[in-house]
Amino acid sequence: MISKSFSFLAARFLCVFAAVFLLSAAAQANPKYASIIMDYQTGKVLHASSADAQRYPASLTKMMTLYMVFEQLDQGKMTLEQPLPVSPRAAGMPPSKLGLRAGETILLKEAIGVLVTRSANDVAVVIAESIAGTEWDFAQLMTRKARQLGLQNTTFRNASGLPDRGQVTTARDMAYLSKALLDHFPHHYKYFSTERFSYRGQTINSTNKLLSRYDGVDGIKTGYINASGFNLAASAVRNGRRIIAVVFGGRTSRSRNDHMVTLLNRGFEKAKQLRVANSITPTGPAAPKPIQLASAAASSSSSDREGQGSSSGISLISKAEASTGDATYPEGDASTSGIWAIQVGAYSNSQSAQSMAGQAAGQVSGLSREHVAVSSTKGSKGSLYRARLIGLEENQAKGACKTLSSEGMECLVVNPSGG
């Protein structure tokens, strides 16, 4: 019995060692290479190789182009049915492209579909010019947004990712951007799962072949220019756990995809050792992440901070701070009506709280965005926004919390007195 257990542990150790060796060897053999693996729930970096070295993003740039589009949609500044004009400059973009002609229009919903599947450069310019007037002005907006999201090592010069010496990023920044898209636009993230898109009778297949190859992958974006090699940002969910991985510098699309499979497998294996309560804040503000509902993470070991540096921007708070305070509830909320609620996070901004509460509502049968509420309170380090689902019966609240916990989402049941 002992011999069998020892053999199993030895075999598992050898598999892990081999994966680490292969990842290290890839970095040494290819100067364009960089990679990172991140656990989405905790923000913990599970692996990093040249993750902060500057690289060319290629079409991973279009992730930020789409971030800007989603922001315009949510702010009511654009609509999916809005026709976007095609300029001569947009029509003249080099491949990959849709083949738009100057003077015609394309609906925004069509532009999004083509951008995530074919990665069309002409469509990226159409979007840029529709939002900012010129692609250069749009690139400046993209860079400004990158700084707001904490992407300190990223600079954009165009909307497509076509070669430009000044357009640089890092694997870590692209992982944070992937997380920001999930955090801020869970209702739009579905576009990245599109395997094929029909445009005016033409079927366009996605360049992201991992969507059909790797169980659980639901995005996010491929990229290639000569200077970058084959890039890929990917996200996958298994058993309620989400992993984000980014790789730069693949020599071919196939070898890049094979390597991404190794990264994701490695990520899910390491994530088994994590507890959701042990949330680590990445260096810099980055994409907003939930502040822990309880203070258990304060005791996490230094080994849990591998590749993270010192925490900043968002701090841990106590359970008392997270669940009480001066709330701004909609009329009839748990604090006054005797109806129960559940809380799924406390955030430093209301947008992140709204997104997480909406995501939680979508995972529980019988709940909808009508149950979503964001309340504010003063924490030890400034204002906090609590993501809650309200208007529940006691059994319903406890059952919903149990469901969310089984999916890896931390949850607190809040009784009518606010406890």
- Model confidence pLDDT, tens digit, residues 57-80: 999 999 999 999 999 999 999 999
Q: Is 270 a catalytic residue?
A: no
- pLDDT tens per residue across span 48-58: 999 999 999 99
Comparing 417 with 350, which gets the higher pLDDT?
Answer: 350
Active site residue: 119, 130, 178, 235, which one? 119
Of 215, 243, 271, which one is at a domain's C-terminal end?
A: 271
- The structure tokens listed for 55 are 């690289």
329 is a domain residue: yes
Q: What percent of the chain has pLDDT over 70?
A: 75
On whether both 87 and 234 belong to a single domain, the answer is yes
On whether both 250 and 346 belong to a single domain, the answer is no
400 CB-near residues (< 8 Å, 6+ apart): 342, 364, 367, 389, 392, 411
CATH number at residue 73: 3.40.710.10
Within 316-391, residue ranges assigned H as helices are 319-323, 334-337, 350-362
Q: Is 355 a catalytic residue?
A: no
**What Å distances lie between residue 339 and 161, 293, 331, 401, 418, CA to CA?**
51, 21, 12, 15, 10
On whether both 247 and 340 belong to a single domain, the answer is no
Active site residue: 32, 44, 50, 62, which one? 62
Q: What is the mean pLDDT of residues 103-121?
A: 97
On whether both 325 and 258 belong to a single domain, the answer is no
Of 271, 291, 308, which one is at a domain's C-terminal end?
A: 271
On whether both 252 and 348 belong to a single domain, the answer is no
Q: What is the mean pLDDT of residues 389-400?
A: 86
- pLDDT tens per residue across span 344-353: 888 777 777 7
Comparing 332 with 403, which gets the higher pLDDT?
Answer: 403
User: The whole model's pTM is what?
Assistant: 0.64
Active site residue: 59, 87, 228, 352, which one? 59
On whether both 379 and 231 belong to a single domain, the answer is no
41 is a domain residue: yes
The domain in which residue 201 lies consists of: 32-271
User: In the chain, how many domains are there?
Assistant: 2
At 171, give phi and psi (nearest 5°).
Answer: -60, -40
46 CB-near residues (< 8 Å, 6+ apart): 37, 38, 39, 243, 266, 267, 270, 271
247 is a domain residue: yes
Q: Is 62 a catalytic residue?
A: yes
On whether both 217 and 329 belong to a single domain, the answer is no
286 is a domain residue: no
Of 271, 300, 329, which one is at a domain's C-terminal end?
A: 271
307 is a domain residue: no
On whether both 232 and 336 belong to a single domain, the answer is no
Q: Please determine, for residue 31, whether its predicted confidence score (pLDDT) is greater than 70.
A: yes
323 is a domain residue: yes
CATH number at residue 335: 3.30.70.1070
On whether both 110 and 214 belong to a single domain, the answer is yes
CB atoms within 10 A of CB 195: 11
Q: What is the mean pLDDT of residues 376-402?
A: 80
When the pLDDT of each residue in the chain is averaged and rounded to a whole number, the result is 80
Q: How do strand 372-379 and strand 229-238 relate by DSSP bridges?
A: unpaired
